[in-house]
Structure formats: C-alpha cells, structure tokens
Chain A
C-alpha cells in the first residue's frame, strides 16, 4: 500500500525567509511524487512533480523539491517566502505499479508573516 506522511501540521515563517515543507512516502515500487497547494474554498493547484531524472525539481512560483530515495522524502522548498504563499500544501504519491491512484498526505498549513 502507498502512503504519504507530512509530519508538520503547521509551518510558520517570516516573509523573506526560507520555507520548507516536509514529506515522506511509502510505496512498493518506484514513486511518482507531487506537490499541490490549496487556497481557501478552492481546488488543488499543481506545483511540481518528480517522475524520473534529476533529484531537484523546479516548479511554479519559485518552489522546488528534492527527491531523496534513501530517505524516501520529497521536501518542498522555497528560498524566500512571500505572504501570498500562505496556504495548505499537500504532498501526493503514485506507485508506478499501482498506476492510477494518487495518495495524499494530511496537508501542512503554511503561514508567512509580514
């Protein structure tokens, strides 16, 4: 069975400081990994994905994530956070052997203070 853990319910940072949102995963095969962001009363918005290749993936709005196979992690990062980055962030995994289902973590609420 595939699963995702986001160990922090909330992350608080000051504007201009680095932002990190943690994610670890468990799959039986090789993973496809995703980050989505959700603003209040909105659907999920795609940020970035890891399929294969370089472990450092760059995505929308200055976000990036690093795939670490040995630690089964896929942490989301942004070098300089903005107040507008305040939202709910979800990590998701798809097991290539279990081809279609996305499994999501419980989410991490990011608050960036001015």
Chain B
C-alpha cells in the first residue's frame, strides 16, 4: 500500500513566478491537509480539503490556493512567489471516521521549494 506521495521532490523558482505542487493521499483517505515547514521550524497549517472544498484555512495569504479532485488527490498553488516562500511543503492525508474518533494524519515526504 503506497503511502502519501508528493511531486515534485524539489523545485527551484524565481520571485514572482507561480508554482503548483501535487499530492496523492494514502489509499482509503479522503482528507488532505497542506503544511509549510520553514527551515528550523515546525510545520505550519496552510489549509485542509475535504469533499473537494476547503474546510479550514490557516494564516496564509490568498496567494496560497488549492484544489482537491474527485479521486481525493490535491494541488497546492502559490502565486507571486516571495523569497520567504522557500520551505518544505508537506501534504498529509487522513480518513474520515464514521465513529467520530479522530485519526492521525499521515505525511508525505514533502516538496522542497527554493525561491531565488
């Protein structure tokens, strides 16, 4: 069973450009969350998608947007890149539990974005 996969693994962009990162959730998972991990820091929540809708959003500007597809995969788009957007972008998936018990999030290996 494949875990959470992300592509690409590394990406180099210049300021002002736009970037799209992709995530495929673990089999059986329908919820996808995105996090930004700057060097030396813990992951920061960007947003979460469920049923193709953004369910919750963290403190990130509108330059950060996303999408979830019917097969539960997801994309993170960042417009007008800034130097400060350089980070490891992590995708995490989790299943919806009918019992209501919260399930842990499973993380992918991340995409390392460098903005020059």
In the complex, A69 has a CB within 8 A of chain B: no
Contact of A49 among B56, B92, B104, B107 (CB under 8 A): B104
Q: A100-B33, A101-B56, A102-B33 are in contact. Are A32 and B109 (CB under 8 A)?
A: no
B91 nearest CB neighbor, chain A only: A43
A46 to B40, CA, bound (A): 19
A34 to B55, CA, bound (A): 21
The answer to whether B107 and A100 have CB atoms under 8 Å apart is: no
Number of interface residues of A (CB under 8 A): 25
In the complex, B12 has a CB within 8 A of chain A: no
In the complex, B4 has a CB within 8 A of chain A: yes
Q: How far is the CB of B100 from chain A (nearest CB, A)?
A: 10
A51 to B110, CA, bound (A): 27
In the complex, B105 has a CB within 8 A of chain A: yes
A42 to B107, CA, bound (A): 9
In the complex, A74 has a CB within 8 A of chain B: no
Q: How far is the CB of A71 from chain B (nearest CB, A)?
A: 21
- From 31 to 52 in chain B, residues with beta carbon under 8 angstroms from any chain A beta carbon are 33, 35, 40-45, 48
Contact of A102 among B4, B40, B45, B110 (CB under 8 A): B45
A-B contact pairs, 5 of them (CB 8 A): A34-B104, A42-B109, A43-B4, A43-B109, A105-B42
